[in-house]
Amino acid sequence: MLQPLLHDLVSTVMAPASALSGADGQIRQSGVQGLFRADRRVLSLARLLIDEHEPEAAGHAAAGAGRSRFVSLARRLGDRGTADPTVRVTRVRELTPYGMEESVEIVSTASVPVNATVTIELACDFAPIEAVKSGRATGVAVAADPSGEGRLSWRSERIRVTVTAPGAQVLTGKSPRLSWEIALPPRGRTTLTWALAVDDPAAVVVPATGPLEWSAPRVQADDRRITRLLDRSLADLRSLRLAEPGAPGDTFLGAGVPWFLTLFGRDSLWAARMLLPLGTRLAASTLRVLARHQGTRLDPETGEAPGKIMHELRREAFPLGEEDRRLPAAYYGTIDATPLWISLLHDAWRWGLPAAEVEPLLPHLEAALGWLADHADPDCDGFVEYIDAGGRGLANQGWKDSGDAVRFHDGRLAAPPIALAEVQGYACRAALDAAALLDAFDRPGADRWRAYAETMATRFRAAFWVDGPQGPFPALALDRDKRPVDSLTSNIGHLLGTGLLSAEESARIASLLAGPDLAEGFGLRTMSADADGFSPMSYHCGSIWPHDTAIVIAGLAREGFGAEAAVLADGLLAAAESFGYRLPELYAGDAQDEVIRPVAYPAACRPQAWSAAAAVTIAHAALGLYPDVPSGQATLRPLPGAPLGALGFGGLKVGESDVEVTVSGDGTATVTGLPGGLRLHR
């Protein structure tokens, strides 16, 4: 069966609820359309009719976090003999964490009275998200229970869905309907409302409580794309906030809508890391949530191991669309979440996370290091590697986790166990970060992990670097036989700043990242166009992922490769403009001289947490403020020459201080509001 497509749907989100509809606002019984909450479809049909006809769509737009507005026309009503429509229908959809509310405003500019019957057809199928994703969902409605005037409900297992509609008559039949009779005088208007509420005590995720975990930035930019992208992205991030039932105050970001609106180790960690310039609270709570799920035992079926950080959390097992391959509800099949957890703890500490919040996490840091030492390298060759030991989980366990993601230059698939290039970088960086934390908090083992990082860098240089048509570069991975998987990919950009590279090697990688075979699209391609395995519409072998590009932009900027960072940032901003400033999970890697705008990847999630967080990374790279609160220092290194134009950014958070950085059109930067005693280096 084929996975349903998403690219032409409108998503409205307030986690853990999300609604996907057509551009006209109608929710139809097809594909992935519906209202979902915590991995269940709780509404599979919501079709608005006026006198048994669908209004004709005129436009739609986001109306803030969790709100969408749809405008349509009822051209069969109102004045006759004029080309202008005289009856307009505005449907405002607002999601809450526990359901959805809609208002339908009907406005007449006609010179005659308008009388009509307005109905909304409804259905519920309680389809699990995994069945919808695989194309197996039938869309068969569960019987509705009329429960009084203007009320009806559905029940399945422990979930109850209730609809209320003031003033409406409930009509039963194949699909229940809400029905209103309206009578508008000339130039009259009326508003109809209905709401849906979900009671689901078995959900594994709940809405986050408490104030927003990050600051509201004050931004002025010559390039208006930056402000528009930030505004839309921060609204989306606000709508993706989640928590667990037992700890509603510890927020994390759900990975993406609709497939991944739950806890994802790698995604949630990266998104929190990208948002560090706006505060450390999200990072701290994400670290705590994942620490509570840290592995304690060896289990080949779930991938769990002592000290390992979880990959994803579900209500129940999640089929992969392949025979006998199902991810367990609590799944640990990720090779990179554990070192990324360590580095997020370190980076949050540098940005000012108080010692009182760091110290309770240090035992989890030491457990994560235990996994790195005892379980991450099963064949003891010195590299971190993975294999799906249970045979029913993910074949690939880095961020490029599709089954065909790890390919040689000639297109052949690599056989596991696989040691990914960027994962060695993450491990090296985690070792150095852990050493700094162990020293700072008077705990043993720092020298061991500095030596680990040094040895890893030497070993990586000998095993991973290969020669290609454009000269030397790090291979994508080592395969089962320790052969370098010789594709040129975006993975090498994740090595910047990890401690694996010399200055000369960093410069070499920067030049490759900015080359046409990787960077001629709207961002950074996941694989070079020169590779035989390249396809611009491949999930991981030629497409462009905004978060991947943003990670590389951050590494380039911090390492001093401003021109290369600016090229990639401009590509992302151009893509953002084409996608209405809501960057999707990924899009096609076509060259900019071949298409006037990026081509959508039809099954991409949107919004996606780390894609939205990329907006903050772009702005931060342009500003170049790098604080180190524990050492009492901060570095200011904006992109030279302000390639993205003048930028003023207030609301950066260094510790508890509100900091503002301004970069002028010539690249001169100023900073105000740094915490007292913090020395600034330019």
CB proximity list for 454: less than 8 A, separation 6 or greater: none
- The whole-number average pLDDT for the span 47-70 is 96
The 10s digit of each residue's pLDDT in 299-342 is: 999 999 999 999 999 988 777 665 566 788 999 999 999 999 99
Quote the pLDDT of residue 142: 77
Determine the pLDDT at residue 325.
67
- Residue range 475-489, pLDDT digits in tens: 999 999 999 999 999
- Hey, which bits of 456-577 come out as E strands? 465-468, 471-474, 477-478, 484-485
Q: In the structure, what pLDDT confidence band is assigned to residue 138 with cuts at 50, 70 and 90?
A: low
450-473 average pLDDT score: 96
Residue 351 one-letter amino acid: W
The predicted structure's pLDDT at residue 677: 87
The confidence score (pLDDT) of residue 101 equals: 98
pLDDT at 533: 96
Enumerate domains of the chain plus CATH numbers. 10-199 (2.70.98.40), 206-487+622-663 (1.50.10)
- Given the structure tokens 């010559």, which residue do they identify? 222
pLDDT score for 1: 67
C-alpha torsion sign, points 468, 469, 473, 479: negative
216-228 pLDDT tens trace:
999 999 999 999 9
Spatial CA neighbour of 365 closest among 383, 353, 381, 380: 353
Given this model, what pLDDT does residue 357 score? 98
Q: What is the pLDDT of residue 323?
A: 56
For the chain, the first-to-last Cα distance in angstroms comes to 57
pTM reported for the whole predicted model: 0.96
Exposure class string for 452-461: b at 16+ Cβ within 10 A, else e: bbeebbeebe
pLDDT one-digit tens code per residue, 519-543 = 999 999 999 999 999 999 999 999 9
Q: Buried (b) or exposed (e) across 353-382, using 16+ Cβ within 10 A?
A: beeebbeebbebbbbbbbbbeebbbeeeeb
Locate 20 and state its tokens: 């996907």
Cα separation, 219 vs 361, whole angstroms: 34
pLDDT for position 5: 92
Res. 150: pLDDT tops 90: no
Which amino acid makes up residue 99?
A: G
Residue 351 CA: distances (Å) to CA of 273, 340, 382, 650: 11, 16, 31, 16
**What residue ranges in 360-453 does DSSP mark as E strands?**
419-420
Q: pLDDT band for 389, please (50, 70, 90 cuts).
A: confident
Give me 592's structure tokens.
Answer: 């900019």
Residues 6+ apart with CB under 8 A from 434: 342, 346, 365, 368, 369, 445, 446, 449
Q: Which residue has the higher pLDDT, 326 or 82?
A: 82
Question: pLDDT digits over 610-663, tens only?
Answer: 999 999 999 999 999 999 999 999 999 999 999 999 999 999 999 999 999 999
Return the residue matching tokens 């070792």: 431
* 89 alpha-carbon distance from chain centroid: 33
Q: What is the mean pLDDT of residues 559-570?
A: 97
Under 8 Å between Cβ of 677 and 631: no
Task: Kindly report the backbone phi and psi dihedral angles of residue 214, in degrees, each rounded to the nearest multiple of 5, phi listed first.
Answer: -130, 165
**What are residue 629's phi and psi, to 5 degrees?**
-60, -45
* pLDDT tens-digit readout, 412-457: 999 999 999 999 999 999 999 999 999 999 999 999 999 999 999 9
What's at 645, amino acid-wise?
A: G
Average of per-residue pLDDT across 81-104: 96
Rounded to 5 degrees, φ, ψ at 460 are -60, -45
Provide the percentage of residues in the chain whose pLDDT is more than 70.
98
From CA 266, how far away is CA 663, in angstroms rounded?
Answer: 32
**So what's the pLDDT on residue 322?**
55
Rounded distance between C-alpha atoms, residue 184 and residue 105, angstroms: 12
Residues 380, 381, 382, 387, CA torsion sign: negative
**Mean of all residue pLDDT scores within the chain:** 95
Q: Residue 383 pLDDT > 70, yes or no?
A: yes
Instruction: Report d(CA 168, CA 424) in Å as an integer.
Output: 61
**C-alpha to C-alpha distance for 445 and 457, rounded to whole angstroms:** 19
Contact 376, 423 (CB under 8 A): no
What's the pLDDT at 82?
A: 87
Q: Please determine, for residue 135, whether its predicted confidence score (pLDDT) is greater than 90.
A: no
pLDDT band at 591; cut points 50, 70, 90 = very high
In the predicted model, is pLDDT for residue 397 greater than 80? Answer: yes
Residue 441 has a pLDDT of 98
DSSP 135-196: T----PPPPPEE-STTEEEEEETTEEEEEE-TTPEEE-SSS-EEEEEEEEPTT-EEEEEEEE
Instruction: Note the pLDDT of residue 324.
Output: 60
Farthest-apart Cα atoms in the chain, separation? 85
Other beta carbons less than 10 A from residue 79's beta carbon: 16
What was the pLDDT predicted at 172?
A: 81
Confidence of residue 465 (pLDDT cuts 50, 70, 90): very high
337-373 pLDDT, tens digit per residue, is: 999 999 999 999 999 999 999 999 999 999 999 999 9
